[in-house]
Structure 1
């Protein structure tokens, strides 16, 4: 029995020795002759080698190994070797197509078209003060009857207002009738002219001549349709020649007095079309036009009064009602247009990222104009047909800033026979600002300490740091504890605050 167990133990040891030898042979051959599949994948798995590490706050300072920044509480950022090839010769950056696809970057073409900015404002309906009629007494007399009228009544043209007894007219009419019986035509003409001079209406003179009897009582009527604004006559009273009896305002058209902010005064012109919408008439749009821009501004609201004339065919527009009015500029001009989302607002202007061939992107300074319907007019800096980035442009701008590429004014002239423009004077090159939100925790003479959120365009985390101010006036009106939005510019000596705004409004 012992011999049997001895043989089994010896066999086990032999098998273990053979397995170890086989494993050693396999390991050596596997290292010397790797499989084609692994050989092909090894370059793709090679790790990128950083050139150096740096602090975005002090980008000119390079470090040989990773670690914590000596300038602030954050980790150093690696600068890879292949990043140095992203800078193009023409002041642009080159982005790998796979990165473009992963980021979901979108572009749009610069087009030419008409931009019709529309201005929304509130107005109040009022009477058309040019459509007014005054009813007066032509001669002295006595009021015998006042028809049932009151201020605010709507009357039709020719409606009776008052019956007047004019004694002076009675004598002139009797004299005319006596001369008529005599048959002397010359004397009759003289008597007729005397009645006209006394203010007798021609209809009354003809009535006296036809009837042959005097008519000392005359009925005064409204000369036009409209609403009675004033009524100054009562039964039994005595009136004098030229005394005002009533004032009538027409309702064929009404005025809409619109309050326009003084900052938008340049967008208003006489003759502009207007669309009014009234809460009292839901779903109805009334077309009108600007007739006047009053010369005096309201000192309390800092607005100009713009007068819009609206037709009132059915009489539904009543003075005193409010309306929302939309003013459109009918003088449409062809301009270059880009999506508003493509504009990058900087501390000194605006810029866009122009997409070029070969995956290159170039920052270009632009001068913007009016904005409407998600489109912005570009006055200079671009030409028709160029491609601008509408999504992801802030990441490209951040990469360009790190590489020292900034936007420069570029206004191409596409006309064939255009003369070369003189070179503009040299001006400081505007740069894109890196923005973050935060809270002021300390204020000095030329520096401010901010507990800020992350600067996404710089790939910097949230931190508390003391920033120098580009201008000491930036901190005027701020206090410790204010929530702010800060815009910083990257310089050789670090980040400098160029813009400081309160969250509730710009400072």
Structure 2
């Protein structure tokens, strides 16, 4: 009797464990019913699995993609509005009217110099002017000589910095002025002054530098990988941390064709209007370039490209439920897109949403995570 009871218990336990195993296998199959099978580099899903994973595909095509990148920059003078004043004759400083930091207008007196050479040149001009008046135009040889001497004396005074009005007054009065007045040729700011009253100066000595700061140049260092997207006339945003991240608008004026071997960058000159004078030369800034690429490229959204180590790949749709892993070679990063140099053809359909899930399924299969 006891033996019979024991046999019944053993049969019952065996039946119970068999039922658990069948139930367990059924549960596992239910969990995996959305992933039907893997064939090497192909993931096959059911239509329901595709919906649950939210997989989306789109055709690959050439794009004139928007690009945006930043480059370090430095604010400098607009050299088209920068004037360097040097001494055109030797002498000594009698008076200084403007100093570094001063705002001056075109024609303002900056300094006065005493120059013996300037005085003697005025005397030569007076003599040449009197001689020209005394010669009859009918005496062609003498008149031409007198005219040449007059023109030479006049040009010499203009070269020293005398103006037309000063020459007219000298021709009328025949009284030379004692001081050579240095005048500002432009409206702007004195950024450098090297004059002290009583100092002697030589011909060619540096006197002043004046700049109109209403517009400035920003020199940006653009990396060689980005230079193709930089074109003359393109708009650039200039951001300055020293002004609390304030943004100014600029325009590309010129792109240097010579690559700096040390920094691997090209110099790009940007014109920035500065009507309020907030930007100052020597400030550091960030230059944000944006626009359309200058050539069509084969590009896909960033999330389309997956990678394992150095293997970069995408998933190409073979049919309605099959997706093939395809190794690709990537190029430039173009905003939220990435260029595909090799591995895809125009018109193929790639997974743009859900590629990470497909990669996970593929890795599970490679590690033996599925058994069917």
Please report the TM-score for the alignment, with normalisation by the length of structure 2.
0.71
Distance in 1, Cα, partners of 2:310 & 2:59: 25
Q: Tell me what 1:135 maps to.
A: 85
Q: Is the 8 A contact 1:276 1:288 kept in 2?
A: no
2:290 is aligned with 1:341: no
- Distance of aligned partners of 1:242 and 1:260 in 2 relative to their CA distance in 1, 3 Å threshold: closer
Q: Is the 8 A contact 2:306 2:359 kept in 1?
A: no
2:254 is aligned with 1:291: yes
The 5-angstrom pairing of residues 172-187 of structure 1 reads 172-176=124-128, 178-179=130-131, 182=134, 186=143
- Distance of aligned partners of 1:222 and 1:360 in 2 relative to their CA distance in 1, 3 Å threshold: same
Deviation sequence 1:271-291 (CA, Å, 0-9, x none): 373221335386644122162
Distance in 2, Cα, partners of 1:183 & 1:113: 79
2:311 is aligned with 1:386: no
- 1:122 alignment partner, SS class: strand
Q: Tell me what 2:12 maps to.
A: none
Count residues in correspondence: 332
Q: Is the 8 A contact 1:115 1:334 kept in 2?
A: yes
Q: Which moved more, 1:388-397 or 1:350-359?
A: 388-397
For structure 2, the residue ranges without an aligned partner over 5 or more in a row are 1-21, 138-142
1:46 Cα deviation (Å)?
A: 8.1
Q: Is the 8 A contact 1:139 1:199 kept in 2?
A: no
Q: 1:189 aligns with which of 147, 162, 173?
A: 147
Deviation sequence 1:146-203 (CA, Å, 0-9, x none): 22x1123232222211223333134324424653664556365254234236444462
Larger radius of gyration: 1
Q: Tell me what 2:102 maps to.
A: 153
Q: Is the 8 A contact 2:84 2:210 kept in 1?
A: yes
- Distance of aligned partners of 1:236 and 1:87 in 2 relative to their CA distance in 1, 3 Å threshold: closer
Q: Tell me what 1:169 maps to.
A: 121
1:308 Cα deviation (Å)?
A: 2.7
1:84 Cα deviation (Å)?
A: 11
- 1:209 alignment partner, SS class: helix
Q: 1:86 aligns with which of 25, 33, 37?
A: 37
Deviation sequence 1:326-355 (CA, Å, 0-9, x none): 123654322233221121113343111122
Distance in 2, Cα, partners of 1:270 & 1:82: 54
Q: Is the 8 A contact 1:115 1:377 kept in 2?
A: no
Aligned alpha-carbon RMSD (Å):
4.0
Larger helix proportion, structure 1 or 2? 2
Q: Tell me what 1:278 maps to.
A: 240
Q: 2:179 aligns with which of 217, 232, 237?
A: 217
Distance in 2, Cα, partners of 1:85 & 1:181: 112
- Distance of aligned partners of 1:108 and 1:170 in 2 relative to their CA distance in 1, 3 Å threshold: closer
Q: Is the 8 A contact 2:237 2:288 kept in 1?
A: yes
1:388 Cα deviation (Å)?
A: 2.3
- Distance of aligned partners of 1:188 and 1:205 in 2 relative to their CA distance in 1, 3 Å threshold: farther
- 1:376 alignment partner, SS class: strand
Distance in 1, Cα, partners of 2:200 & 2:185: 22
- 1:241 alignment partner, SS class: coil
- 1:236 alignment partner, SS class: coil
Q: Tell me what 1:126 maps to.
A: 76
Deviation sequence 1:211-261 (CA, Å, 0-9, x none): 443334332212223332332223334444333322223435422233456
Q: Is the 8 A contact 1:342 1:352 kept in 2?
A: yes
Name which structure has the greater RCO, CA cutoff 8 Å, separation 6+. Answer: 2
- 1:357 alignment partner, SS class: coil
